[in-house]
Structure 1
Amino acid sequence: MQKYQMLIDGRWCDPSSSQWFETAEPFSGRPWALIPRGERTDADRAVDAAYRAFKAPAWAKLTGTARGALLRKLADLIEHNVELLGTIEQRDNGKLIAEVSGQVRNVAQWFHYYAGLADKIEGAVVPINKAGVFNYVKYEPLGVVAAITPWNSPLALTTWKMAPALAAGNTIVIKPSEFTSASLLELGRLALEAGFPAGVVNVVTGYGPEVGEPLVTHPRVAKVAFTGGAAGGRAVNLAAAADFKSVTLELGGKSPNIVFDDADLDQAVKGAISGVFGASGQTCMAGSRLLLQESIHDAFVEKLVVAVREAKIGDPSRMETQIGPIATRAQWEKVLRMIEMAKAEGATCVLGGHPLEGPEFGQGQFVAPTIFTNVSNSMRIAQEEVFGPVLCILKFKDDAEAIRIANDVEYGLAAAVWTQNLQRALDSVDQLEAGTVWVNNYRATSFTTPFGGYKHSGLGREGGTEAIKEYLQAKSVWITTRPNRANPFVLG
């Protein structure tokens, strides 16, 4: 049983509560590590340390090139520790080892990308409309960033915040999910090894009310970057507004995956599977609403059911496994409740719809891949995020109805279109209310491009050059080049 400490001000320390809690493997149910139970005192200490580091010359006076070098060194260390980080994250949240190893390698690439951007934050000289004045705009970091991250992809979703925040010159306090803290404590260890000054990177663990809320409301936190559900995001946004904090919110989704009758059906079936059954459906971008044109509906469903029925389900530490467990017991229970709700609403369950039991399923925290047909878009199962391996299939007649159904939901995180008609694809892209639209693929992401949602799916963007702007503020500078003899009582 490994016993972790928190990272505050460049030092490993015990929680002020002197309490730890167990973290367990979702597959076996066995506890494997002890996580510090932080409280407000620890959150305050971490923010104060981050604030001092933000003001200290060791960080504040570094050039962008020097910050980039530190980020690059951290990226190299992550690459050298892919197996360690991947194994720890897999143990903590039950994600497939085949997927999480690739995610960790991608995390390193995110740090490399923002290392390259660190010394390319450019201002502008403004051709001002006044004589005898020189004006320029420069961009400065915000200060202390509180990053609050979920259990489904802790390393990746923390990196989406940490890499641009540090590249821009901010300092950070990371609060992981209480279910998946270990991999981020290991990331903190690598940040120390990379040479980041004390207090620049801090990791405080514990429960939301005891650590997360004090971070969001701390007066020295300038920015909150949060990934989680819509209810949590709303609470964060309201609390942060009291001090006019900047926020980035990456929230939930109920993303439409639209298959038109001219699509390559075999590829679209693969896309539908990847869209909702990858990561056991525990991803905000899950394509949980599959919209099928009426003429291909029956054939597509038949192909889809056959393919999903053959999925290899079980131990996520095995490379051949394709669907793993639900990460937490509470989430497992929620998924099963929503499946029963869908049946009660009148949806037809054509596959799955039940928990999986047996020695090959460890402690039994599995849900059979589930497919519902005869779903109307007004059903709760079509409107509410499940966050599990559950797919709703809806029919549509024509392009206009497809777009209407796709947009008729409070979320707007992602969408996909499957068609071989370029005009139809581009028209759909223009009309879909979503921050990301895929054409003839699903779940493709990159550090080079922004990701974020419309409507209730969040605020701000993560990824690409857009993300670094989320961690900067503009300053307009006016310099008089000739004495001004105008009336001082009149605005010049």
Structure 2
Amino acid sequence: MELLKSSKKYQLFINGEWKNSISNQFIEVINPATGNIVGQVASGNIVETKEAIDAACDSFFSWSKETSKARADILMRLYFLLLENEEYLASVITNEMGKPIVQARKEVQTAAEHFRWNAEEARRIYGQTIQSSEKQKRLSIIRQPVGPVAAITPWNFPLSMVARKLAPALASGCTIVLKPAEQTPISAIELFKLAEKAGVPNGVINLVIGNPKEIGDVLLEDKRIRKITFTGSTEVGKLLYKNAAKQVKRVSMELGGHAPMIVFEDCDLESTVNQVVKSKFNNTGQTCVSPNRIYVQQSIKDSFINLFKEQVQSLKMGYGIDENIDVGPVVNQSGLDKVKKHVEDAIQKGATLVVGGTVSDKANHKNGYFYEPTVLDHVDEQMLITNQETFGPVAPIFSFETEDEVVKKANNTDYGLAAYIFTENLSRSVRVSEALEYGMVGINDTVLSQVEGSFGGIKESGIGREGGPGCLEEFLETKWITSTIRD
């Protein structure tokens, strides 16, 4: 069933009010599985962005001075509201970006957990008192919110990525202007409705949707915005980073990935294949930590491919509102074209097609962006798929002989977000995990994104971390205070 209606119109949220844009223009949100319009969203630009910044700045003083308990209480209310509305929110995610409903429910649960974790952390913003070498001196360090924040989120996790930025900002005492991806804005809109119910004061959170460049330029140019937090492509991240530097704005960025997955001959083969399939085809391969290069030791490669092929062929692809669907569509035509280009290039340059390799021709897929789950063998370093992030349901398999050889190949990229190792050898797991140039490494584990963990990359995969015990650090400034006490 399709719960969103094409006739429904959604508004922007600025200073506690839902409103249309001055231009009265709307963005059509398309279901990538069916081609149907699932809603029309008001398209704001420069005027609305400036209004949102004004509101965030005007409300900053009162919100930043609010007690940590009061802020935590609001976040906890939002946590419960998300869980109460789990089924509806999951259907929104499935309809606007194609994610299978089972995976969409997990995204809602993760989004809720971000609010609970940060509610708990809100009451643990500590300072320090330092003993001075002078009797009359008193020395201390306090932590204060950085100021109004601009957050820009991607389409592939349209609810949890918003939560991952909103929750620590609010917990720290910052106010927010959020620009979600124009492909998937409805999840953010529904979250803001719940935030309103939870008691977030007017002006503390503001939602603008529209032309990314126009909105982004206003956010970057306004000196009152003290921090940019962004999740998206490395290409866009570099532009934001460059422009933020003009004002020395604080930035945190989770950018592109090109994750290697290394399968050693001493792994538990069946368990490894199960995890690799689940990780590779989660969200139709449209995740920044998706394994894009699967390195399998030569001695077990044939056995690995046979098991892998069998499992991939059993995956069910379709409109994700069906409980039995494993793989949905890619998000749009450009995403589909990129997948096709990478596969065609690999085959032309000598890769072997194991399974898949084509746009689905099934009747119930004809209006969507469906690409068959695909496995390629004999992939090498000259192919596009080896050097670019595919963001689709394609698993390229490489072979290797030695540990040193595969570590060198895995590190041969400008990206440094996530990497994976499968081995039963403890010493090897330590050696390789420490040698890999990535911000996150999973050992016999592919679930890296957890609210308790520190999520982020190195090299061109980003700056800063999200989640975990240090989740508020990115939204706090350190102030050093000295005073002289009179006798």
- Same fold flag (TM > 0.5): yes
Aligned residue runs from structure 1 range 253-272, under 5 A: 253-272=257-276
What corresponds to 2:334 in structure 1?
330
Q: CA RMSD in A?
A: 1.3
In 2, Cα distance between equivalents of 1:207 and 1:91: 22
What corresponds to 2:204 in structure 1?
200
**Is this contact kept in 2: 1:125–1:136, CA < 8 A?**
yes
What per-residue deviation string (whole Å, max 9, x for no partner) do you get for residues 384-406 of structure 1? 10100111111111111121111
Q: 1:346 aligns with which of 340, 346, 350?
A: 350
Equivalenced residue count is: 481
What corresponds to 1:480 in structure 2?
484
In 2, Cα distance between equivalents of 1:372 and 1:454: 28
Q: Does 1:244 align with 2:256?
A: no
**Is this contact kept in 2: 1:355–1:364, CA < 8 A?**
no
Q: 1:79 aligns with which of 79, 83, 99?
A: 83
In 1, Cα distance between equivalents of 2:167 and 2:139: 31
**Is this contact kept in 2: 1:275–1:442, CA < 8 A?**
yes
Q: 1:299 aligns with which of 299, 303, 309?
A: 303
**Is this contact kept in 1: 2:416–2:461, CA < 8 A?**
yes
Please tell me the residue identity of whatever aligns with 2:77.
K
Q: Does 1:6 align with 2:12?
A: yes
What corresponds to 2:3 in structure 1?
none
What per-residue deviation string (whole Å, max 9, x for no partner) do you get for residues 292-325 of structure 1? 1111111111111111011111121111100100
In 1, Cα distance between equivalents of 2:146 and 2:304: 50
| Structure 1 residue 219 displacement after superposition | 1.7
Greater Cα offset, 435-444 or 256-265: 435-444
Amino-acid identity (%):
36
In 1, Cα distance between equivalents of 2:398 and 2:448: 23
Please tell me the residue identity of whatever aligns with 2:276.
A
Aligned residue runs from structure 1 range 143-222, under 5 A: 143-222=147-226
What corresponds to 1:132 in structure 2?
136
In 2, Cα distance between equivalents of 1:214 and 1:84: 33
What corresponds to 2:464 in structure 1?
460
In 2, Cα distance between equivalents of 1:372 and 1:213: 41
In 1, Cα distance between equivalents of 2:256 and 2:202: 34
For normalisation by structure 1, the TM-score amounts to 0.96
Gaps of 5+ in 1: 484-492
What per-residue deviation string (whole Å, max 9, x for no partner) do you get for residues 454-473 of structure 1? 11111100111222100001
Greater Cα offset, 135-144 or 438-447: 438-447
Please tell me the residue identity of whatever aligns with 2:164.
W
What corresponds to 1:363 in structure 2?
367
Q: 1:225 aligns with which of 224, 229, 233?
A: 229
| Structure 1 residue 378 displacement after superposition | 4.2
What corresponds to 2:284 in structure 1?
280
Q: 1:21 aligns with which of 23, 27, 31?
A: 27
In 2, Cα distance between equivalents of 1:259 and 1:127: 53
In 2, Cα distance between equivalents of 1:217 and 1:276: 39
What corresponds to 1:449 in structure 2?
453
What per-residue deviation string (whole Å, max 9, x for no partner) do you get for residues 51-76 of structure 1? 00102x3x232111111001111111
| 3-state DSSP of counterpart to 2:156 | coil
| 3-state DSSP of counterpart to 1:411 | coil
| Structure 1 residue 131 displacement after superposition | 4.1
**Is this contact kept in 1: 2:255–2:462, CA < 8 A?**
yes
For normalisation by structure 2, the TM-score amounts to 0.97
| 3-state DSSP of counterpart to 1:465 | coil
In 2, Cα distance between equivalents of 1:170 and 1:9: 15
**Is this contact kept in 2: 1:38–1:210, CA < 8 A?**
no
Please tell me the residue identity of whatever aligns with 2:158.
P
What corresponds to 1:488 in structure 2?
none
Gaps of 5+ in 2: 1-6
Greater Cα offset, 156-165 or 326-335: 326-335
- Structure 1 segments (4+ residues) deviating >4 Å: none
| Structure 1 residue 249 displacement after superposition | 0.7
**Is this contact kept in 1: 2:440–2:448, CA < 8 A?**
no
Q: 1:435 aligns with which of 439, 452, 465?
A: 439
Greater Cα offset, 214-223 or 293-302: 214-223
Please tell me the residue identity of whatever aligns with 2:224.
R
Please tell me the residue identity of whatever aligns with 2:70.
A
| Structure 1 residue 11 displacement after superposition | 0.5
| Structure 1 residue 370 displacement after superposition | 1.4
**Is this contact kept in 1: 2:345–2:383, CA < 8 A?**
no
Please tell me the residue identity of whatever aligns with 1:453.
G
What corresponds to 1:41 in structure 2?
47
What corresponds to 1:93 in structure 2?
97
Q: 1:65 aligns with which of 69, 83, 91?
A: 69
Please tell me the residue identity of whatever aligns with 2:217.
E
